[in-house]
Amino acid sequence: AQSVTQLGSHVSVSEGALVLLRCNYSSSVPPYLFWYVQYPNQGLQLLLKYTTGATLVKGINGFEAEFKKSETSFHLTKPSAHMSDAAEYFCAVSEGQGGKLIFGQGTELSVKP
Amino acid sequence: NAGVTQTPKFRVLKTGQSMTLLCAQDMNHEYMYWYRQDPGMGLRLIHYSVGEGTTAKGEVPDGYNVSRLKKQNFLLGLESAAPSQTSVYFCASSYSIDRGLRNTEAFFGQGTRLTVV
C-alpha cells in the first residue's frame, strides 16, 4: 500500500533562509509525487509534480523538489523564504497514471521577519 | 472555467441529521475524491471514484456514502451525523484520459466546513 510521511509537523525559518520540507513515500510501483500548498481557509493548489523524466522538478513560487528513488524521498526546497510562503504544505503520492492520491500529514511553515 | 465547485461551503448539523455534500467538476476528469481534513492528520481519503457509476472506499469510509451517477458530479452523504464527523471536507478531481500523463494532478474545491453538534 502507498503511504507518505512528512517529517516535522511545524517548520519555522527566517525570511531569506533556506526552506526544506521533508517527504518520504512508500509505493510498490513507480510513483507519481506531488507537493500541494494550502493557504488559510483555502483549498489546495499544486506546487509541483514528478511523473517521469527529470528527477529535479521546478514548481511555482521558486520551489523545487528532487525525486530520489534510492532514498524514497521527494523533499521540497526553496533557496530564500518569503513571508508569503507561510502556509501548510502537503506531499502526496499516487501509483501511476490516474491512481488515487494519498497525502502526508502536512507541514506548517512559518516565516519569521 | 469553474474547476471544482463544492456546495455548501458551511453547514451546522445536529447529531443524527443527514445531509449531502455536492461536488461538481467541469474538466471532464475521470477520477473524483472526497477527503476530510482534521488538524494534525492531513487529508484522509473517504471515498473515491474512477469513473461514472463506480465508487470505492478510501481510508476512512465509515459513516459516509457516495454516488457518481454523472461523470461531473460526486456526492458525499452522511446518513446520521456524529460529532466525530466535524471536519473540513474537500472534493478533488483528476486525470483526463484525453490529456494523458500531462494531467495527473488533482484539482481541489474550496472545502466545506461541517460542524456536528
Tell me which amino acid residue A51 is.
Answer: T
CA distance A45 to B3: 12
pLDDT digits (tens, 9 = 90+) for A80-104: 999 999 999 999 988 655 567 889 9
CA distance A91 to A105: 8
Most A-contacting residue of B104, B107, B110, B112 (CB-CB within 10 A), to test interface: B104
Q: Do B40 and A94 make contact, defined as CB atoms within 8 angstroms?
A: no
| Confidence bin at B102 (pLDDT 50/70/90) | very low
| Confidence bin at A23 (pLDDT 50/70/90) | very high
pLDDT digits (tens, 9 = 90+) for B14-51: 999 999 999 999 988 888 999 999 988 889 999 999 88
The CA distance from B114 to the nearest CA of chain A, in Å, is 13
Ramachandran class of A41: left when φ > 0, alpha when ψ lies in -120 to 50, beta otherwise: left
Whether B11 shows a pLDDT value over 60: the answer reads: yes
Tell me which amino acid residue A45 is.
Answer: Q
Most A-contacting residue of B9, B38, B43, B45 (CB-CB within 10 A), to test interface: B43
3-state secondary structure of B91: strand
Q: Are the C-beta atoms of residues A74 and A55 closer than 8 Å to each other?
A: no
What does the angle CA B55 – CA B60 – CA B63 come to, to the nearest 5 degrees?
80
pLDDT digits (tens, 9 = 90+) for A54-77: 889 999 999 999 999 999 999 999
Residues of chain B with Cβ-Cβ distance to A103 below 8 Å are 35, 42-45
The pLDDT value given to residue B2? 72
Tell me which amino acid residue A90 is.
Answer: F
Residues of chain B with Cβ-Cβ distance to A89 below 8 Å are none
Q: Do A101 and B106 make contact, defined as CB atoms within 8 angstroms?
A: yes
CA distance A108 to A34: 16
3-state secondary structure of B30: coil
The pLDDT value given to residue B113? 96
Q: Measure Cα distances from A14 to A77, A82, B97 in Å.
A: 14, 8, 43
The DSSP-derived string for B100-113 is GGGG--EEE---EE
For residue A2, the chain B residue with the least C-alpha distance is B59
For residue B38, the chain A residue with the least C-alpha distance is A105
Residues of chain B with Cβ-Cβ distance to A40 below 8 Å are none
Which residues 44-83 on chain B approach chain A with CB closer than 8 angstroms?
Answer: 44-45, 48, 50, 58-59
The pLDDT value given to residue A99? 66
Nearest CA to A86 out of A61, A50, A67, A65 is that of A61
The pLDDT value given to residue A6? 95
Q: Do B110 and A42 make contact, defined as CB atoms within 8 angstroms?
A: yes
